[in-house]
Amino acid sequence: MSDLLERLRGRAWRMTSQRRVVAEVLDGDHTHLTADEVHARAVRLLPEISRATVYNALGELVSLGEVVEITTDGRAKRYDPNAHHPHQHLVCSDCGLIRDVHPQSSPLTGLPDEERFGFTVTGVEVTYRGLCPACARSAQGGA
């Protein structure tokens, strides 16, 4: 669970009912939703919220650095509210579901000096890929 709502209150972000609903949706189960998925969930909480309002709120959150926009393999953009906590991503190669993971070792320290080519390395992005349980069951012919 992210702390997005708390961070936004701390930044004095003008919390209209529409913005609050978008933030609440993102602060949820942490599966890195697409804009359309955010809109679909937001409509359940605030039926009059428009798709444009959701897109605008997401753009503002990305600009503020409170949400990270993620794109994998040319799929739809997804939104990660876990912007201030180090983590990597686990992506389903079939449906595109993204989950946060927290490996025990740091890939930053795993790069030998001779392979840094004089770079001062400031960050690392690692993406783990596989099949989520639902896609794995489907691939095996299960329900």
Same domain, 56 and 116: no
| Residues 51 and 95 occupy one common structural domain | no
Structural domain count, the chain: 2
* CA nearest neighbour of 101 among 80, 73, 123: 80
Whether 141 is covered by a domain: the verdict is: no
Based on the fold, state whether residues 97 and 119 are members of the same structural domain: yes
Residues 124 and 76 in one domain: no
User: Could you tell me the strand order of the sheet in which 127-130 lies?
Assistant: 98-101, 88-92, 127-130
Do 58 and 98 lie in one domain? The reply is no
Examine the domain organization and report whether 75 and 116 are in the same domain.
Answer: no
Q: Assess if residue 15 is contained within a domain.
A: yes
Domain extent at residue 126? 88-133
**Residue 35, domain CATH:** 1.10.10.10
Asked whether residue 138 is assigned to any structural domain, the reply reads: no
The reply to whether 140 falls in a domain is no
Distance, first Cα to last Cα, the chain:
29
Residue of 40, 111, 98, 30 lying closest to 70 (CA atoms): 98
In the predicted model, is pLDDT for residue 28 greater than 80?
A: no
pLDDT (tens digit, 9 = 90+) per residue, 67-84?
Answer: 999 987 777 899 998 888
Give the pLDDT of residue 22.
96
pLDDT in tens, 92-122: 999 888 888 888 877 777 788 888 898 988 8
76 and 57, same domain (yes or no): yes
Q: Which residues of 59-73 are buried (b: 16+ CB within 10 A; e: fewer)?
A: eebbeeebbeebebe
The alpha carbon of 119 is separated from its chain's Cα centroid by a whole number of angstroms, namely: 28
Identify the pLDDT of residue 37: 94
Using CA atoms, how far apart are residues 135 and 28, in angstroms rounded to an integer? Answer: 22
Pair 66, 15 in one domain = yes
Tell me, yes or no, whether 67 lies in a domain. Answer: yes
Average pLDDT, integer, range 79-91: 87
- pTM of structure: 0.79
